[in-house]
A and B are shown apart, each in its own frame.
Chain A
Amino acid sequence: MTVGLNEYLYLSAVLFAIGFFGVLLRKSTLIIYMCLELMLVASTVALVAFSRFNGTMDGNVFVFFILTVAAAEVAVGLAIIVALFRRRQTIQVEELNALKN
């Protein structure tokens, strides 16, 4: 079987959906965070595929940007999660409800 643009886009959509439902359903902040990253990666797969099949570099440029931003996010986000755990001894989202009470 030949692997065309559609297969890449299916892969991208499946990855994105996994990430999306992970964000919606999982309780651990760390997992949610990984799922967010998964969604970003899913979009980069789609962009690389477009770039490959169109023969232009536009998609690749986007990917670089996304990777850069994602790296920065990781630095900040993980630091927050670590600080959160130190303070509250938990990273389960249902226990992080200080805004409500």
Chain B
Amino acid sequence: MSVQFIALLTLLTPLASATLIALFLRKQGTLASLVSTLAAAVVAAGALTLAFGGGRFGEQLGAPVDMEWMRLGDFTISLGFLYNDLAALMLSIVGVVGLCVHIFSLGYMHDDSAKARYFGGLSIFMFSMIGIVLADNLFMIFIFWELVGFSSWLLINHYCLKQSAADASKKAFIVNRVGDFGFLLGIILCYYTFDTVNLVEIAHASGAGGVVAVAIPLLLFCGAVGKSAQLPLQVWLPDAMEGPTPVSALIHAATMVAAGIFMLCRIEPLFAHAPAIALNVVMWIGTGTALYAALCAITQSDIKKVLAYSTLSQLGYMVAAFGLGSIEHLDAESHTLIIISAGVGAAMFHLTTHAFFKALMFLGSGSVIHGCHHEQDIFKMGGLSKKMPLTFITFTIGVLAIIGMPGLAGFFSKDAILYLAMENNTPVFIILSITAVLTAFYMVRMWKLVFLGGTRSEDADHAHEGGASMTLPLLVLGVLSLIGGYEAIYGGHFNGVFDQVAHPHGSAHTTILITSLAVMLTGALGALFFYKSGPADSLQQRVPGAFGLLNGLKSTPDAVYGYYVAKIQQRFALVLNFLDQILIGGVIVRGVSGVVGLFGLAARALHTGNIHVYVYWFLAGAVILWALAAGTL
């Protein structure tokens, strides 16, 4: 089988599974779940075969691997594959994490009444996500981008009888539309300027200058802001936790939200050619999100909400890393200074490790929620380390990985970002370090409240491990979170990405190591001693002011958007509605239909149903015809 064929198979298998489920297996939940999981296994196998088989294609300028899909005049939309190391890495992540989530869902969703719909949604999501990863042009990315939005809507809305879930899914979809609008404008501007949307051709294109050179990447970045939930469009992600927990793991932590980062890395040449302001905007938005979300996470009491804000924060890290841009790097072999796009390297590296440990923690939280009979409040848990030892161990690995414990996955990628920040921008370095302190703080807080101390509710008393289908993915992801930071395990197959990761040397290395150890210990020990594993929030009891402030910080954007929609947009809509009713509805539509209606009324009066009357009409007609023929009329 040629590599292109494997790629096509990887792309289309989930679509086939989704179609099969949607058309034939709606009532057979168990069969549907098996079909979908099998498709995910094919995807994982295909992704890993492609990645480690060494085949890369579509990278050469002028020799795209694509086919024409639609032609409108001079304008062609083609569908094609660009499979370089970046795509290979992303595809492997999607495949592996996706398979873990599918297997976990077999256990977690076992008793769900709408299992077929759920697994169908997972399959269509896998299809859309792989489409984004493999796409070789911006239009194709956009198509699958929207499909991802749709499948996300479908999955958040899984418990569609719950009002909050229905609202959350709508919110996610609409907020994403706002970002997508900018994305679409960016694509159009890109086509207008470069006459192409093919990623390889864009990388070699030039000719944009001034405002356009800044506008294109920033408009495209709007899409990433929506999908990766950066400020100011971050509001949908915490609400999206209404979906089933495995969905949160797959979509809202590991893969879909990472699509924004991935897309940025795909269009990195545009940023590289643009004036520095473009990257600076990206960097500050990412940094702001990282800090903001970390602050919000501290006061959350819902286990999934803590993880959601932590996801936001880590996404902010990645975006900030991307925005920090390139760096001069001393090549070890030739002893020359070369410029590497360290932003891409660090962002993708962190995306990889984050996908592992965040999926692990979300699935771990799923295991906890499942064990506690769908209790999500961390203040009603406690003491689960004894009840659910395996979940406890794997979750602990996840926590240690995210807070940057040396030797675990998160440590390496976070250090790469911190080093880059230290070299390129000191204020960002300081903010990201503070964020790292906060990360350790809220993660350890949650970990302690959930797993240590005594049980605080009846549900927690009866907590138990799920079956093998739930513990196995935890183990796999746990191992990946342990070793995911060592580039050796990737066997040099993703060097296109990992060569871009900047490694500190000499004194910089020491500084970074000390900094990251210091921030981790400060945050972790702070939380460990500050919080008691009790039924109330220690921060709320001891410093209610700060607690209120952080809570306010969390709800302010929602309140602002709520005000905007209710007061400004709604009133504007009223005006438009008035115009619509009076002008279009009243004069144009009603007017025309009224005239036609009058004719109809007159014609209806002729139609009496009495044969004699018709004979008279016939007579009258004959007379008129005769008169016309005789020329008297």
Interface residues of A (CB under 8 A from B): 23-25, 32, 93-94, 96-101
- By the criterion CB–CB under 8 Å, are B610 and A97 in contact? yes
- Measured CB to CB, the closest approach of chain B to A47, in angstroms, equals 20
- By the criterion CB–CB under 8 Å, are A93 and B612 in contact? yes
Digitize B596-616: 1 where CB-to-A-CB distance is under 8 Å, 0 elsewhere: 000000000001111110011
Q: Which residues of A contact B611 (CB under 8 A)?
A: 32, 93, 96
Q: Which residue of B lies closest to A98 (CB)?
A: B609
Q: How far is it, in angstroms, between the C-alpha of A97 and the C-alpha of B614 when the chains are bound?
A: 12
- By the criterion CB–CB under 8 Å, are B615 and A100 in contact? no
Q: Could you count the A-B residue pairs with CB atoms below 8 Å apart for me: how many are there?
A: 24
Q: Which residue of B lies closest to A20 (CB)?
A: B619
- By the criterion CB–CB under 8 Å, are A94 and B610 in contact? yes
Q: How many residues of B contact A (CB 8 A)?
A: 9
Q: How far is it, in angstroms, between the C-alpha of A100 and the C-alpha of B607 when the chains are bound?
A: 7
Q: How far is it, in angstroms, between the C-alpha of A84 and the C-alpha of B334 when the chains are bound?
A: 107
Q: Which residue of A lies closest to B616 (CB)?
A: A24
Q: How far is it, in angstroms, between the C-alpha of A97 and the C-alpha of B607 when the chains are bound?
A: 10
Q: 20 pairs across A/B with beta carbons < 8 Å?
A: A23-B615, A24-B612, A24-B615, A24-B616, A24-B619, A25-B612, A93-B612, A94-B610, A94-B612, A96-B611, A97-B608, A97-B609, A97-B610, A98-B609, A99-B607, A99-B609, A100-B607, A100-B608, A100-B609, A101-B609
Nearest 6 pairs between A and B by C-beta?
Answer: A100-B609, A97-B609, A93-B611, A99-B609, A24-B615, A94-B610
- Measured CB to CB, the closest approach of chain B to A40, in angstroms, equals 16
Say what secondary structure dominates the interface of chain B. Answer: helix
- Measured CB to CB, the closest approach of chain B to A68, in angstroms, equals 24
Q: How far is it, in angstroms, between the C-alpha of A32 and the C-alpha of B607 when the chains are bound?
A: 21
Q: How far is it, in angstroms, between the C-alpha of A24 and the C-alpha of B616 when the chains are bound?
A: 8
- Measured CB to CB, the closest approach of chain B to A20, in angstroms, equals 9
- Measured CB to CB, the closest approach of chain A to B622, in angstroms, equals 11
Q: Which residues of B contact A94 (CB under 8 A)?
A: 610, 612
Q: Which residues of B contact A99 (CB under 8 A)?
A: 607, 609
| 8 Å CB contact of A93 from B607, B610, B616, B619 | B610
Q: Which residues of B contact A25 (CB under 8 A)?
A: 612
Q: How far is it, in angstroms, between the C-alpha of A101 and the C-alpha of B607 when the chains are bound?
A: 10
Q: How far is it, in angstroms, between the C-alpha of A24 and the C-alpha of B610 when the chains are bound?
A: 11
Q: Which residue of A lies closest to B607 (CB)?
A: A100
Q: Which residues of B contact A97 (CB under 8 A)?
A: 608-610
Q: How far is it, in angstroms, between the C-alpha of A100 and the C-alpha of B611 when the chains are bound?
A: 11
What 6 new A-B contacts, CB under 8 Å, besides A24-B612, A97-B610, A100-B610? A93-B612, A94-B612, A96-B611, A97-B608, A99-B607, A100-B607
Q: Which residues of B contact A100 (CB under 8 A)?
A: 607-610
Q: Which residues of A contact B619 (CB under 8 A)?
A: 24
Q: How far is it, in angstroms, between the C-alpha of A25 and the C-alpha of B615 when the chains are bound?
A: 10
Q: How far is it, in angstroms, between the C-alpha of A82 and the C-alpha of B616 when the chains are bound?
A: 25
Q: Which residues of A contact B616 (CB under 8 A)?
A: 24
- Measured CB to CB, the closest approach of chain B to A36, in angstroms, equals 11
Q: Which residue of A lies closest to B604 (CB)?
A: A100
Q: Which residue of B lies closest to A26 (CB)?
A: B612
- Measured CB to CB, the closest approach of chain A to B327, in angstroms, equals 87
- Measured CB to CB, the closest approach of chain B to A98, in angstroms, equals 8
Q: How far is it, in angstroms, between the C-alpha of A93 and the C-alpha of B610 when the chains are bound?
A: 7
- Measured CB to CB, the closest approach of chain B to A67, in angstroms, equals 24
Q: Which residues of B contact A98 (CB under 8 A)?
A: 609
- Measured CB to CB, the closest approach of chain A to B370, in angstroms, equals 65
Q: Which residue of B lies closest to A25 (CB)?
A: B612
- Measured CB to CB, the closest approach of chain A to B417, in angstroms, equals 81
Q: How far is it, in angstroms, between the C-alpha of A99 and the C-alpha of B610 when the chains are bound?
A: 9
Q: Which of B607, B608, B609, B619 has the most CB of A within 10 A?
A: B609
Q: Which residues of B contact A32 (CB under 8 A)?
A: 611
Q: How far is it, in angstroms, between the C-alpha of A101 and the C-alpha of B604 when the chains are bound?
A: 12
Within 8 A of A (CB), among B284-310: none
Q: How far is it, in angstroms, between the C-alpha of A93 and the C-alpha of B616 when the chains are bound?
A: 14
Q: How far is it, in angstroms, between the C-alpha of A13 and the C-alpha of B607 when the chains are bound?
A: 31
Q: How far is it, in angstroms, between the C-alpha of A94 and the C-alpha of B609 when the chains are bound?
A: 8
- Measured CB to CB, the closest approach of chain A to B606, in angstroms, equals 11
Q: How far is it, in angstroms, between the C-alpha of A25 and the C-alpha of B619 when the chains are bound?
A: 13
Q: Which residues of B contact A93 (CB under 8 A)?
A: 610-612
Q: How far is it, in angstroms, between the C-alpha of A89 and the C-alpha of B23 when the chains are bound?
A: 54
Q: Which residue of B lies closest to A97 (CB)?
A: B609
Q: How far is it, in angstroms, between the C-alpha of A98 and the C-alpha of B608 when the chains are bound?
A: 10
Q: Which residues of B contact A24 (CB under 8 A)?
A: 612, 615-616, 619
Within 8 A of A (CB), among B577-633: 607-612, 615-616, 619
- Measured CB to CB, the closest approach of chain B to A94, in angstroms, equals 6
Q: How far is it, in angstroms, between the C-alpha of A39 and the C-alpha of B11 when the chains are bound?
A: 81
Q: Which residues of A contact B607 (CB under 8 A)?
A: 99-100
Q: Which residues of B contact A96 (CB under 8 A)?
A: 611
- Measured CB to CB, the closest approach of chain A to B123, in angstroms, equals 56
- Measured CB to CB, the closest approach of chain B to A89, in angstroms, equals 18
Q: Which of B610, B611, B616, B619 has the most CB of A within 10 A?
A: B611
- Measured CB to CB, the closest approach of chain B to A26, in angstroms, equals 9
Within 8 A of A (CB), among B447-473: none
Q: Which residues of A contact B610 (CB under 8 A)?
A: 93-94, 97, 100
- Measured CB to CB, the closest approach of chain B to A29, in angstroms, equals 8
Q: How far is it, in angstroms, between the C-alpha of A97 and the C-alpha of B610 when the chains are bound?
A: 6
- Measured CB to CB, the closest approach of chain B to A18, in angstroms, equals 15
Q: Which residue of A lies closest to B609 (CB)?
A: A100
Within 8 A of A (CB), among B221-274: none
- Measured CB to CB, the closest approach of chain A to B612, in angstroms, equals 7
Digitize B366-380: 1 where CB-to-A-CB distance is under 8 Å, 0 elsewhere: 000000000000000
Q: How far is it, in angstroms, between the C-alpha of A94 and the C-alpha of B608 when the chains are bound?
A: 10
Q: How far is it, in angstroms, between the C-alpha of A32 and the C-alpha of B615 when the chains are bound?
A: 11
